Amino acid sequence: MTRRRLLLGGAATAAVVLVKSSFGKMVQTGIPEAAFDPTRQVGPLPGVLGTRSPFEHPQRKPSLTSSQTPLQDLYGMITPSDLHFERHHAGVPAIDPNSYELMIHGMVDKPTVFSLADLKRFPSVSRICFIECSGNFRKPDKENITPQDICGLTSQSEWTGVMLSTLFREVGIHPKATWFLAEGSDAAVMTRSIPVSKGWEDAMIVYAQNGEAIRPQQGYPARLLLPGWEGNTSVKWIRRIELSDGPFMTREETSKYTEPVKDGKIRQFSFTMDARSIITYPAYPAQLQKGWVEIRGLAWSGRGKVQKVEISTDAGKTWNAARLQEPVLDKAHTYFRYLWQWNGDTTAIMSRAIDETGYVQPALQELFAARGLGTGYHLNPVTAWLIKRDGQVVYSPEKWK
């Protein structure tokens, strides 16, 4: 079969394939049914960019305010950059890296403006960690929802940039400066107040994600990265850091990203993401067959390393340790696996993460008992998947408030 015929396409198509057109552009085209034999057809020659197989369609799920990572379609600890979740408050800004600047001022000795090139000249550091939105929770209201629906607002990348402590030393932080404001240059000019101690501990200004320039949706050309803290604090498109002697009480740390707790109180500056896990396989919409099943999923903690993941295949009556995939990193998604033999009976399977502080991922009702019913952010309950007799795997709806 000639390339020309491929491009024109046949009547019935069984699949699509990528071919290079006469203009050198990659195009998808149909393959006539029962005609395709890859050993009899020279494929596309090397190109400038790689592509996914036309048979694979992992997609984020967008709403007006966010788009969620398809956790159930992934196999490892790194989230492909184009599948990293998005959450922003006024869209993705278009920023020219040549005119980009980061200003650090306020209670500092030397108020300074850094260009992107300046930031890249400093000693650089790479680290792998997750970013999770503190609103990463889905009300367990129906059976047909996926891991992506339940907690797709967490993703993991290798981030590269300069330690904020390096920049702090460069500008000279006043001893009485206790907080800093981080401000983005999106249309919400979004701001959060951050304790200076986090800046010295492990905060970074990052300009690269998984080995290449950070994507616009993740903060191009540079963002703040606060490992283990609620995603909103890792301010994207960062343009300004103002050192101060107190928090600024911005909208995102008062009206939003706070949660009602017991006795009518409202909890503020709840930065750290508590330990959590989710089984990503088998999960809705998977269909099981009797026999051996490898249960797989992700566990993480904003307080350090995942120490252990326990699996229950009998609706929480007994728990057994899963195998953790190395490397198990600080404040990072950790992939777990657990081999199980399904005998065909109806049951519920669930996972719980235990981090190095000894914290055990709670059940939803335990969170309600601790905080009251008004809680909303920072919900990290154990997620159960119900396995029906016919092998259908569905989310297990729980009583909600």
Partner 1 sequence: MPFWACVAGTLMIACERRNTAMPEHFGYGRPATEKEIAAIAIAIHPDGKGLPAGSGTVQNGALIYAAKCAACHGATGVEGPYNILVAPDTVDAPPFDKAPKRIKAIGNYWPYATTIFDYVRRAMPFNAPGSLSDNEVYSVTAWLLYANKLIGANAVMNAKTLPAVVMPARKYYVTDSRKGGDGPYE
**Window 20 to 79, contacts with partner 1 (CB under 8 A):** none
Interface positions, 248-287, toward partner 1 (CB under 8 A): 248-251, 254-255, 258, 260-272, 274-275
User: Would you say 93 or 147 has its CB closer to partner 1?
Assistant: 93
**CB contact set of 7 (below 8 Å; sequence gap of 6+):** 19, 21, 27, 29
Q: Which residues of 302-312 are buried (b: 16+ CB within 10 A; e: fewer)?
A: bbbbbbbbbbb
# of chain residues touching partner 1 (CB under 8 A): 72
Q: Pick the binder of partner 1 from 13, 178, 244, 396 (CB under 8 A).
A: 244
Interface positions, 116-135, toward partner 1 (CB under 8 A): 118, 121-123
Q: Which is it for the CA torsion 13, 16, 18, 22, positive or negative? A: positive
Q: With contact defined as beta carbons under 8 Å apart, do 389 and 344 qualify?
A: yes
User: Would you say 122 or 319 has its CB closer to partner 1?
Assistant: 122
Least distance between partner 1 and beta carbon 99 (Å): 14
Reported in sequence order, the residue ranges of 2-100 that DSSP labels E, i.e. its strands, are 13-20, 26-32, 61-62, 66-68, 86-87
Q: Pick the binder of partner 1 from 73, 348, 359, 388 (CB under 8 A).
A: 359
CA distance 251 to 253: 6
Q: Pick the binder of partner 1 from 170, 174, 325, 348 (CB under 8 A).
A: 170
CA distance 133 to 87: 8
Least distance between partner 1 and beta carbon 12 (Å): 47
Does residue 240 bind partner 1 (CB under 8 A)? yes
Q: Pick the binder of partner 1 from 37, 373, 390, 399 (CB under 8 A).
A: 373
Interface positions, 280-339, toward partner 1 (CB under 8 A): 301, 303
Q: What is the DSSP letter of 261?
A: -
Half-sphere exposure of 22 (CA within 13 A, CB side): 7
Q: Pick the binder of partner 1 from 35, 103, 125, 324 (CB under 8 A).
A: 103
| Backbone dihedral angles phi then psi of residue 198, each to the nearest 5 degrees | -65, -35
User: Would you say 26 or 187 has its CB closer to partner 1?
Assistant: 187
Q: Pick the binder of partner 1 from 141, 294, 314, 366 (CB under 8 A).
A: 366
User: Would you say 20 or 89 has its CB closer to partner 1?
Assistant: 89
**CB contact set of 85 (below 8 Å; sequence gap of 6+):** 60, 66, 67, 68, 69, 79, 131, 133, 152, 153, 154, 155
Residue 143 backbone zone (phi > 0: left; psi -120 to 50: alpha; other: beta): alpha
The residue with tokens 């057809």 is 41
Q: Pick the binder of partner 1 from 41, 166, 392, 396 (CB under 8 A).
A: 166
User: Would you say 45 or 64 has its CB closer to partner 1?
Assistant: 64
User: Would you say 372 or 397 has its CB closer to partner 1?
Assistant: 372
Half-sphere exposure of 124 (CA within 13 A, CB side): 16
User: Would you say 29 or 134 has its CB closer to partner 1?
Assistant: 134
User: Would you say 111 or 216 has its CB closer to partner 1?
Assistant: 111
Q: Maximum Cα–Cα distance for the chain, whole Å? A: 75
Least distance between partner 1 and beta carbon 278 (Å): 19
User: Would you say 85 or 180 has its CB closer to partner 1?
Assistant: 180
Determine the interface stretch with partner 1 among 7-15, 97-105, 305-313, 324-332 (rule: CB under 8 A). 97-105
